[in-house]
Chains A and B, each alone.
Chain A
Amino acid sequence: MSTDLMTLQNPLPAIPMTRGCPFSPPAEYEQLRQAAEWHKVTVMDGRQIWMVPTYSAVRAVLGDPRFSAERDRPGFPYINQSQKELIKSSPAMVTVDEPLHSQIRRRATYAFTGKRVEALRESTQQLVDSLIDDMLAKGGPLDLVTEFALVIPSTIISGILGVPAEDHQHFHELTNKIFTLTNGPEGVAAGRLGLEAYIRELVLLKVQEPKDDLISRYVTEYLNTGELELEEVVTQIRTLLIAGHETTSSMIALGAAFLMEHPQYREQLRQGDDKIAAGAVEEMLRYLNIMHRGLVRMALEDVEIEGKLIKKGEGVLCALNSANRDAEVFAKPDELDFENPNRNHVAFGFGIHQCLGQGLARMEMQVAFKTLFTRIPDLKIAIPLSEVPFKTDVTVYGVHCLPVTW
């Protein structure tokens, strides 16, 4: 082990490092977890921040209010252009600390309670069935991302917010512009401005004609009462729209690719009950880690985490994908156990910013995976795995497209 550790640079050149297996974190992460000292990693503008590699330390940082997520604080480290760009708008819940964070978040949590999510299960099932009907009618090969993975979360979040479902390709393209790492600052800005202009127009439509949806609720309860300005509403809806479709669609496509390449897990899911489907989703969340670039925080004072001193003003990168494979916590981190899933993973983050829509995401994935492989048991990737375009150039990991056939 010590010899291997010598080969790792400190600071590390970039995060994430190159994956060996497309479904697992880079092999070096295990060495980083076992190293006596934490490594630093170079991020935007040449800044170096600490990479936090272990499960316990990741949870300790993300659960500690002395670490700030407020990105417009002077000296806050950015890891990509989208983070720099998105703070130009009115503050979003994901980029502010308490008490503002809870004020913003609690206006939205209403729509994502366990009971409201369960109430959407039947219509989600109908949607998934109709998409599979269409796929079977068209015949393969076809792209599972555009025909299935992207449509499910886009349609569901559109229904909750009151966004026309037929616009999903449009708002998805704008979202892509924001998060594609190879886009320059102008391209990322164009994505943000375009998406916000689209949402602003929608909000103003709801002012004229409120309906029974979350945007209308923001209009009647917060905008019309003067509690929020128009731009504040636009940012909150932008956050929910992006988070509501980009991440879940990536997980559905990546999870489907994983299951097609691992028949033993696919069969277990197909032959199992709903509890197995829920376990499969939990374990794939832990194992696949679409938030592969980690979460950034800045220390507001000197803090010691597990014997490591992080000085005031220093940045940390919480490596969720490393934490979720930590053998100190997970007995068999590199295997998936659908019967006894690890629910204590950090795929949705940890601390006050943990994903607001996690219950919705879980439900959508349970229905999607179970139905897809029950109805098309011999679904397979139509090209060699080595030719699948994995999203290493986007902040959220996944696949750009996934040709499938049966």
Chain B
Amino acid sequence: MLKVKLDQDKCVSGGQCVFAAPEVFDQRDEDGVAVLLREDVPAELVDGVREAADICPALAITLQEN
């Protein structure tokens, strides 16, 4: 299963990951920094998570194929 990791220190709060995969990413209310809702990505969410990783401007999202 695809695993997703998020480096919050790198995040610049653009919020595009939430748009691409709302089941996997959210934003902190106080500063918009992305929050990971789950690490394991089920098949139906893989496309959205890949898009999130691709468009993240801060390269804060990394994917691990198992």
Q: Which residues of A contact B (CB under 8 A)?
A: 62-63, 102, 105-106, 109-110, 112-115, 117, 343-344, 348-356, 358-359
Option from A62, A110, A349, A354 in Cβ contact (under 8 Å) with B31 = A110
9 pairs, A vs B, C-beta closer than 8 Å: A109-B13, A109-B32, A113-B13, A113-B28, A113-B29, A352-B10, A354-B14, A355-B14, A356-B12
List residues of chain A with CB within 8 A of the CB of B32.
109-110, 112-113
Interface of A is mostly: loop
Report the tally of A-B residue pairs with Cβ distances under 8 A. 68
Do the beta carbons of B57 and A109 come within 8 Å of each other? no
Asked if A114 and B18 sit within 8 Å, CB to CB, the answer is yes
Query: Which residue of chain A has the shortest Cβ distance to B10 in the bound complex?
Result: A352
Majority DSSP secondary structure for residues of B touching A: loop
Is B44 located at the chain interface by the 8 A CB criterion? no
In the complex, chain B residues 1-19 whose Cβ is within 8 Å of any chain A Cβ: 10, 12-16, 18-19
CB <8 Å contact, A109 and B31: yes
Given contacts A114-B27, A352-B12, A356-B14, whether A109 and B55 have CB atoms under 8 Å apart is no
1/0 per residue B14-38: CB within 8 Å of A?
1110111000000111111100000
| A109-B31, A110-B31, A110-B32 known; A359+B15 contact, CB < 8 A | yes
Check B58 against A352 for contact (C-beta < 8 Å).
yes
CA distance A105 to B12 in the complex (A): 8
Is the Cβ of A358 less than 8 Å from the Cβ of B51?
no
Q: Is the CB of A349 within 8 A of B51?
A: no
Partner of A358, one of B10, B16, B27, B29: B16
| Closest-CB distance, B42 to chain A (whole angstroms) | 22
Q: Is the CB of B55 within 8 A of A343?
A: yes
Interface centre among B14, B20, B55, B59 (most CB of A within 10 A): B14
Shortest C-beta distance, A111 to chain B (Å), equals: 9
Which chain B residues lie closer than 8 Å to A63 at the CB level?
57-59
Across the interface, which residues of B come within 8 angstroms of A117, CB to CB? Answer: 15
Please name all residues of chain B whose beta carbon is closer than 8 Å to the beta carbon of A355 when the two chains form the complex: 14
B57/A354 in contact, CB under 8 A: yes
- Quick one: which of A102, A105, A113, A351 contacts B15, CB cutoff 8 A? A113
Give chain B nearest CB distance to A337 CB in angstroms: 16
